[in-house]
Structure 1
Amino acid sequence: MNFSSDNVSGASPQVLRAIVDSNAGAAAPYGMDPWTEDATRRLSEVFEREVSAFLVATGTGCNALALAALAPPGTAILCHEEAHVIEDECGAPEFFTGGGKLVGVPGAGGKVTPEALSSALARYPRGIVRQVQPSALSLSQVTEAGTLYTVAEIRALSDAAHAAGLAVHMDGARFANAVAALGASPAEITWRAGVDVLSFGATKNGAIACEAVVFFDPAKAGDFLFRRKRGGHTVSKGRFLGAQMAGFLDGGHWLDLARGANLRAARLSAGLSALPGVRLPWPTEANEVFPIVPAAMHEALRAAGARYYPWTTRSLGENAAPGEGERMLRLICAFDTDEAAVDAFLAVAARAASVHPAAPF
Structure 2
Amino acid sequence: MYFASDNAGAAHPQVMQHVTDANTGFALPYGADPIMEGVRAKIREVFEAHQAAVYLVATGTAANSLALACYCAPWQTTFCSEVAHVHEDECNAPEFFSGAKLTLVRGGDKMTADALETAIRSENTRGVHGPQRGPVSITQVTERGRIYSLEELRALTDVAARYALPVHLDGARFANAMVALECTPAEMTWKAGVDVVSFGGTKNGCLGVEAVILFDPDKAWEFELRRKRGAHLFSKHRYLSAQMAGYLENDLWLDTARQANANAAHLIAGLRSAGAEFVHEPQANMIFAAFPRRIHRALHNAGAVYYIWSGELEGDDPEEMLEARLVCDWSVTTAQIDTFLGHFDQ
What is the TM-score of this pair, normalised by structure 1? Answer: 0.91
Q: CA–CA distance in 1 between the matches of 2:310 and 2:87?
A: 16
Q: CA–CA distance in 2 between the matches of 1:221 and 1:150?
A: 29
Q: CA deviation at 1:281?
A: 2.4
Q: Which residue does 1:36 correspond to in 2?
A: 36
Q: Which residue does 1:296 correspond to in 2?
A: 294
Q: CA deviation at 1:22?
A: 1.1
Q: CA RMSD in A?
A: 1.4
Q: CA–CA distance in 2 between the matches of 1:59 and 1:350?
A: 38
- Once the two structures are superposed, the pairs formed by residues 250-269 of structure 1 within 5 Å of their partners are 250-269=249-268
Runs (4+) of structure 1 moved beyond 6 Å? none
Q: CA deviation at 1:69?
A: 0.5
Amino acid at match of 1:5: S
Tell me, what secondary structure is at the counterpart of 1:129? helix
1:262-288 CA distances to partner (integer Å, 9 max, x unpaired)? 001011011101123x21123221111
Q: CA deviation at 1:312?
A: 4.2
Amino acid at match of 1:292: A
Amino acid at match of 1:335: W
Q: Which moved more, 1:87-96 or 1:290-299?
A: 290-299
Q: CA–CA distance in 1 between the matches of 2:206 and 2:73?
A: 31
Tell me, what secondary structure is at the counterpart of 2:8? coil
- Once the two structures are superposed, the pairs formed by residues 115-134 of structure 1 within 5 Å of their partners are 115-126=114-125, 128-134=127-133
Q: CA deviation at 1:162?
A: 1.5
% identical aligned pairs:
48
Q: CA–CA distance in 1 between the matches of 2:267 and 2:322?
A: 17
Q: CA–CA distance in 2 between the matches of 1:96 and 1:156?
A: 28
Q: CA–CA distance in 1 between the matches of 2:324 and 2:226?
A: 38
Unaligned runs of 5+ in 1: 314-323, 352-361
Amino acid at match of 2:150: V
Amino acid at match of 1:36: M
Q: Which residue does 2:339 correspond to in 1?
A: 344
1:39-96 CA distances to partner (integer Å, 9 max, x unpaired)? 1111001101212111011111111000100101131001010011000001100100
Q: CA–CA distance in 1 between the matches of 2:287 and 2:39?
A: 32
- Once the two structures are superposed, the pairs formed by residues 221-260 of structure 1 within 5 Å of their partners are 221-260=220-259
Q: Which residue does 2:5 correspond to in 1?
A: 5
Q: CA deviation at 1:126?
A: 4.4
Amino acid at match of 1:25: G
1:191-222 CA distances to partner (integer Å, 9 max, x unpaired)? 00000000111011111111111011212334
Q: Which residue does 2:82 correspond to in 1?
A: 81
Tell me, what secondary structure is at the counterpart of 2:325? strand
Q: Is the 2:124–2:131 contact (alpha carbons within 8 Å) kept by the matching residues of 1?
A: no
Q: Which residue does 1:18 correspond to in 2?
A: 18
Q: Which residue does 1:69 correspond to in 2?
A: 70
Q: CA–CA distance in 1 between the matches of 2:60 and 2:233?
A: 14
Q: Which residue does 1:319 correspond to in 2?
A: none
Q: CA–CA distance in 2 between the matches of 1:340 and 1:74?
A: 53
- Once the two structures are superposed, the pairs formed by residues 104-183 of structure 1 within 5 Å of their partners are 104-108=104-108, 110-126=109-125, 128-183=127-182
Amino acid at match of 1:268: L
